[in-house]
Amino acid sequence: MKITDARVIVCSPGRNFVTLKLVTEDGVSGLGDATVNGRELAVASYLTDHVVPLLIGRDARRIEDTWQYLYKGAYWRRGPITMAAIGAVDTALWDIRGKSLDTPVYQLLGGASRDAVLVYGHANGATIEETVAAVARYVKLGYTAVRAQCGIPGLAQAYGVGRGDRYYEPAEQGMPPEHLWSSERYLGFVPTLFTRLRAEFGDELHFLHDVHHRLTPIEAARLGKALEPYHLFWLEDPVPAELQEGFRLIRQHTTTPLAVGEVFNTVYDCHRLIEEQLIDYIRATVVHAGGISHLRKIAALAELYHVRTGCHGATDLSPVCMAAALHFDLSVHNFGIQEYMTHTAETDRVFPHSYRFEAGVMHPGDAPGLGVDIDEALAARYPYERAYLPTTRKLDGTVHSW
């Protein structure tokens, strides 16, 4: 089953996506998401200029061998661009394999370990009361897990809060906007948000919160401790995750569950966090962590140490990634939860898919392969437009993690 064609499709139906399409001599095609938000063309070039020539003529059934060939054969290993490119190839090959065997990918991963996949949605508001109203909307939609983000009094912007009626979307066209940040104001405010949310919604609803890499370990320990009365499902990205041992300090002070990993791209970024049980959920996902094949290896290590999966699922991960993640989620034993930010209507039109949401859970569907496609003609009507993630500075002007 030789690969005879490989195309990199860059489009922007509401936001930029990079999609790899592989086609075999039998006419079977497969898709992989290769989107790295704010650096999309770097991955498109890595694929087009360096990887695609290596794929033509390869046997599409040799998924593991192709992964190792692209990883070890590049000499320069790891990193978000390389691993998103390898991830896209890997995902497309699983898609092809499923289609060629007329079976959904989750059946190739060991079958379903659960009936459906628990997901969480993103509620946010400029004020506590707006956030309460947003959470109520998600509860009405049937969500049993909701991430809550809120504006911080005295700060013009806060992570995860949309502007006006605009759905929260991380990338912006033009030059990177600069947001001001104050950890002190944030730390003093967030516990009041969850006091109000628990008072409004009681104890059963799962609440999640994303710190988005902005605290020091001792600040994160303080926040985790302050949030213990509200028993969050998880506190995400409490600190920049390059310093894995930094989590030891947080762990010493709080029982609030910790989640990290959406920026990780191989098991090497997180094996210490997992082996020392410094986290409770690993957020790595298909598009950024080397595809389904490598994500399974990360999950297998995590299973040994009581760490569960919590795949990233923001709008800058395309429906191709969401479909692949749901096949992985349905099958993996130590599943925790799946993030689900709904895409724009135009994105869903460009990427028709079989996955469905209902009553707080999702299922990838039983279409052969991943159950997602790309309408290339429609995609061409949404040309790429450079966009950047915001940057952040402290009140004194010092650059900070966004």
Tell whether residue 210 is a contact of Mg ion (CB under 5 A): yes
Task: Give least dist CB 393 to ligand CS2, A.
Answer: 17
Paired tokens of 273: 């966090």
Does 212 participate in catalysis according to the annotation?
A: yes
Which of 63, 197, 314, 322: binder of ligand CS2 (CB under 6 A)?
314
Pick the closest to residue 347 from 46, 29, 6, 33 (CA basis): 33
For residue 379, give Cα distances in angstroms to 30, 321, 324, 346: 16, 17, 20, 9
Does 159 participate in catalysis according to the annotation?
A: yes
Range in contact with Mg ion (rule: CB under 5 A) among 144-152, 203-211, 289-297, 352-360 = 203-211
For residue 308, give Cα distances in angstroms to 237, 300, 311: 15, 10, 10
For residue 269, give Cα distances in angstroms to 36, 81, 220, 243: 17, 15, 20, 10
Cα separation, 168 vs 139, whole angstroms: 18
Cα separation, 288 vs 317, whole angstroms: 9
Task: Give least dist CB 319 to Mg ion, A.
Answer: 19
Task: Give least dist CB 313 to Mg ion, A.
Answer: 10
Is the CB of 179 or the CB of 253 nearer to ligand CS2?
179
Is the CB of 90 or the CB of 210 nearer to Mg ion?
210
Tell whether residue 170 is a contact of ligand CS2 (CB under 6 A): yes
Is the CB of 130 or the CB of 169 nearer to ligand CS2?
169
Residue 368 CB coordination number (10 Å): 18
Is the CB of 109 or the CB of 302 nearer to Mg ion?
302
Whether the CB-CB separation of 402 and 391 falls below 8 Å is answered with yes
Burial 304-318 (b: 16+ CB within 10 A, else e): ebebbbbbbbbbbbb
Residue among 71, 120, 159, 281 flagged as catalytic:
159
Range in contact with ligand CS2 (rule: CB under 6 A) among 39-47, 70-78, 197-205, 312-320 = 312-320
Tell whether residue 316 is a contact of Mg ion (CB under 5 A): no
Cα separation, 36 vs 170, whole angstroms: 12
Range 229-268, binding ligand CS2 (CB under 6 A): 262
Is the CB of 21 or the CB of 400 nearer to Mg ion?
400
User: Which spans of this chain sit near ligand CS2 (rule: CB under 6 A)?
Assistant: 37, 170, 210, 212, 262, 312, 314, 316, 339, 389
Active site members = 159, 212
Residues of this chain that interact with Mg ion (CB under 5 A) are 210
